[in-house]
Structure formats: C-alpha cells, structure tokens
C-alpha cells in the first residue's frame, strides 16, 4: 500500500522544482519594477513617477490580454513531450511564435491610437500625460519581444526546462535595473529612459532565449516541419485554443478594472484600502502562479503519456499546496493586520479600520489560490473552452449582480462580495468539471487529434509526391 502511494506521488520533486523556478522567475519582475520606481521617485519632478505609473498600468493590461500566448503554449507543448512527439513540440513553438510576432508588430505600429485611447479616459495633469506618453511610446516598441518571450517561456516550461526560464528572467531584469540607472539617473532621460530600458531588456531576454532555443533545435529540424506550420486544421485548432483563453483573460481584466473603478467612486480612503488589500492578492499570485505553472506542465505531460491515473494524485497534491499558500497569506493579514498593512503605508487613516475587510480578503485569497491551480490543470489539458465558459458563468451569475448592488448601496463590503462570488463560482464550476478529466479517453475540444493527424498526413503526402 505504501509502495503504491509512493509511486503515485513520485512526481512531487519534479513539481517543486518547476514551482520553485517559476516563483523565482515571477518575483524578479516586481523587484526590478521597484528599482525603477525608486529611480523615478528621486527625480526632481513627481510627474515622471506618476506618468510612468499610469502608462505602465495601461501597458500591463494590454499585455495581460495576450498572455494566452504563454498559456496556450505550455500545456500543448507538455502533451507533445509526453507523447515523445519532437515534431509536435517544434510546431507548437513555431505556430505560436508566428502569431506572437504578428501581434507584437501590430501593437507597435498602432502605438499612437492605443496611447491616445488609453489616456483619453484618464483625467490627469498635462505634464503627467506628457510624461506617461513618453514612456508609453518608447516602451511599446518592445511589444514584439514581449509577446515572443511569452511563447518562449511557455515552450520552455512545457519541456520542464525551468532553469532556462530563470536564467532568461535574471538576465532581463538585471539588465533592466542597470539600464534604468544609466538612462534615468546618469543620462537624465527620465520617463523616456524608463521606457527604453524596459524595451531593450525585453529584446535582451529574447536574444538569450533564442540562444537557448538554437541549442535545443537544429535548422534541419525546422526545415523538415516548415511545411506543416500552415496546416489549416492545425492553425484553426491553435487559434481556437488561444481565442478561448483570450476571452477568459478579458473577463479577468474586466472584473479587475471594474472593481478598481467602483472602489475609486467610494472615496479616497476606501480606494486606498482596497489598493492595499489587492497588493496582498497580487503578491500571493507570484507564489500561487508558480505552483500553477508546475501543475500545467505535469498535467500536460501525463496527458501526453496517457498516464491518466496520475491526474488524481496530482490534482489532490497541487490543490492542497495552493490552499496552504492562500491560507498563509490570508492568515497573516487576519492575525497581524497592523503589522502587515503598516509595512505598506504609514497613513493611519487608511489602516485604522482596514481589518473589517480582511475576512473578505482571506476568502478571496483561498478561492483564488485554488482557482489558479485549477486554471493550470485545465490549461495543461488544453481545455481553453472550459476556462472560457466558467469565467462567463462566474461573471454573469456572480460578479455583475453583486457589483450592481454595490453601486446602488455604495458598499465596499458588497463590492468585495462581488469579487468573492466571481472566485467562488469559478471554483465550484471548475471543480464540477474535474472528475470528467480523470478518464483516459477524454477528448480535447480545443486541440484536436484530427488536426494533428491531418498535419502529419500532409507531410506524408508531400513526401510520396516527391518520390
């Protein structure tokens, strides 16, 4: 019995290696951004810090929309690795890489309308807008590299090459810090320097990632699969998966923006309190998301190998790990609210009664941690349609009705209830879908085997024609 349990959970070391690498990679991003804030905050004019913060938020929301490029790459790559399908691994990276390149170039070329549209909704001082646009119009030239990096990271994660992801992240963020100091402090480029620094660091990440890529594959391999890249059914399958994840991401962004906007309408103190509470959520995400990436990779790998019996212990273990993280962060805020929030601000008018909202925070942290793990699980199975449908149900039945009530009653408690309902309904509906995935003959709607077979048949037909 013990031997059977040990064999069921022999994936645990792999899981934690993946999770640790992903957590380290995730944490480096806010640390590098913090250094940028420090440099900008020590300039003579405060408009540079404010402008970069506003433009940075706009660009972050823009890039979050395209996270489907990473999310749609890891699981499918892991499945191909599990099937020992070297050709499939290459095709996933090449197809998504081409999509990322096209979208990235389009974003860079559309920088003027995107910038004007983004700042049109912000009522800010002219000097703040000018500083923000200076950052926006330089940073956005890094869009092709940013989107290609999404694909590269997803591709490496799908093959469990987590050390490469850490190296790419270290190089990029270290370069960003050095360039920030050079361009902002030494050369005095202010907000423009911050934008140039970000863009260059992303291209450096891409350069390092491509070096690793060239070591992993040979040009002859690319030539052999080049004819399959444009297989219509495979392209359609890829776009379907990415499109479903795209819709799910849009719903997340909509709920986040709406929550923040409604909080701002309730006054400065409420908005500041919500901002502090959400900072705890955001910080916990860097840990939970790392665990979710590990789950995604292993689920895809087990699916590709046909080891469906491993999905149950993996789901059980990963959900337990996520629950512990959520409880740890929420429990710290519950037990030591003055200490935790006192580290974030010294404005007592903000922290004096923030503890009345901590129970909402605790529940949101627990449910969202579980959801991040479930998201990773279903992404590993390449079931983007499940995430799309669940997010739509949670939005319509949970978030929107409570959000309308929060507006009518001007209650921050009801506003937090809307976020809690969104997470709770997602958790329940994803949980209901979970047992269906434990059978070995489950069919992926987004990534069809038929498309893969047609892709293989296309090449066989061409080879026969040549002969």
What pLDDT score does 454 carry? 52
What pLDDT score does 156 carry? 94
Q: Quick one: residue 306, left, alpha or beta (phi over 0 = left, psi -120 to 50 = alpha)?
A: left
What pLDDT score does 102 carry? 96
Question: Which ranges of the chain have pLDDT less than 50?
Answer: 1, 3-5, 449-450, 452-453, 456, 458-467
Tell me the pTM.
0.87
CA atoms within 13 A on the CB side of 113: 4
What pLDDT score does 96 carry? 94
Query: 272-307 pLDDT, tens per residue?
Result: 888 889 888 988 888 898 899 999 999 999 999 988
d(CA 314, CA 138): 44
């Amino acid at each position: 019995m013990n031997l059977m349990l040990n064999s069921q959970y022999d994936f645990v070391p792999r899981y934690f290696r993946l999770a640790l690498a992903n957590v380290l990679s995730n944490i480096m991003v806010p640390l590098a951004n913090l250094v940028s804030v420090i440099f900008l905050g020590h300039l003579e004019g405060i408009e540079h810090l404010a402008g970069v913060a506003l433009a940075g938020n706009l660009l972050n929301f823009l890039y979050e929309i395209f996270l489907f490029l990473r999310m749609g790459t890891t699981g499918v790559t892991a499945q191909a690795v599990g099937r020992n399908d070297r050709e499939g691994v290459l095709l996933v990276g090449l197809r998504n890489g081409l999509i990322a390149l096209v979208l990235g170039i389009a974003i860079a070329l559309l920088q003027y309308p995107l910038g004007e549209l983004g700042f049109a909704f912000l009522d800010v001082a002219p000097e703040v807008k000018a500083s923000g646009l200076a950052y926006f119009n330089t940073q956005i030239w890094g869009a092709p590299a940013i989107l290609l990096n999404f694909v590269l990271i997803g591709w490496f994660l799908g093959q469990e090459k987590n050390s490469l992801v850490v190296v790419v992240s270290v190089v990029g963020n270290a370069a960003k810090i050095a360039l920030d100091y050079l361009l902002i402090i030494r050369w005095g480029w202010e907000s423009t320097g911050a934008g140039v620094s970000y863009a260059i660091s992303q291209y450096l990440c891409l350069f390092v990632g491509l070096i690793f890529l060239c070591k992993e594959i040979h040009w002859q391999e690319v030539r052999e699969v080049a004819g399959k890249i444009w297989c219509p059914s495979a392209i359609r399958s890829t776009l379907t998966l990415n499109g479903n994840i795209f819709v799910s991401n849009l719903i997340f962004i909509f709920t986040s923006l709406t929550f923040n906007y409604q909080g701002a309408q309730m006054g400065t103190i409420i908005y500041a309190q919500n901002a502090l509470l959400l900072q705890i959520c955001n910080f916990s995400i860097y840990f939970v998301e790392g665990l979710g990436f590990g789950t995604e990779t292993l689920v895809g790998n087990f699916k590709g190998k046909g080891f469906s019996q491993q999905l149950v212990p993996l789901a059980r273990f990963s959900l337990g790990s996520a629950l512990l993280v959520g409880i740890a962060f929420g429990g710290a805020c519950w037990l030591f609210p003055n200490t935790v929030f006192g580290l974030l601000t010294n404005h007592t008018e903000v922290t004096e009664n923030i503890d009345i909202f901590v129970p909402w925070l605790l529940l949101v942290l627990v449910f969202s941690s579980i959801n991040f793990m479930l998201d990773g699980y279903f992404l590993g199975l390449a079931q983007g349609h499940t995430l799309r449908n669940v997010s739509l149900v949670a939005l319509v039945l949970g978030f929107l009705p409570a959000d309308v009530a929060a507006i009518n009653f001007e209650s921050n408690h009801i506003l937090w209830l809307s976020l809690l309902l969104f997470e709770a309904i997602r958790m329940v509906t994803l949980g209901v879908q979970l047992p269906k995935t434990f059978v070995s003959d489950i069919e992926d709607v987004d990534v069809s085997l038929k498309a893969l077979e047609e892709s293989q048949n296309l090449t066989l037909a061409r080879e026969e024609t040549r002969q």
